[in-house]
Amino acid sequence: MSDIKEITEALIKFRNERDWEQFHNPKDLALALNIEAGELLENYLWKSHDKANIEEVKEELADVLAYAFLLAEKYGFDIKEILLEKIKKNGKKYPVDKAKGTAKKYTEL
């Protein structure tokens, strides 16, 4: 079984044991993901990037990923597929010869 499938099954088992599917509509999953993303960000507030507490980053990042995986599962998205497709698409928005070494948005290249 793939890693992603194994993680997703563990998340779904956890959710179903608690009868939480009733709350997990896509809109609220997207809210939950945003809330966790904010908690992740809090680890970097008022400090430089190397001063974050790595254990807390790990936990908050796991929360973000959990909701991202649950949202993907809700729509039946294949995570590997949608990521590889997005990378391909971004390759057109950010061609190497224009994007190399610059952090500009594609609209400004």
Site for its own copies in 25-84 (CB under 8 A): 25-28, 30-35, 37-50, 52, 54, 57-59, 61-66, 68-69, 71-72, 75, 77, 79-80, 82-84
Identify the H or E element spanning 10: helix 3-17
| Beta carbon of residue 68, minimum distance to its own copies (angstroms, whole number) | 5
Query: What letter represents residue 45's amino acid?
Result: L
| Beta carbon of residue 98, minimum distance to its own copies (angstroms, whole number) | 9
Does position 12 interact with its own copies (CB under 8 A)? The reply is no
DSSP per residue, 9-53? HHHHHHHHHTT-TTT--HHHHHHHHHHHHHHHHHTTTTS-GGGS-
Candidates 56, 73, 96, 106: give the one binding its own copies (CB under 8 A). 96
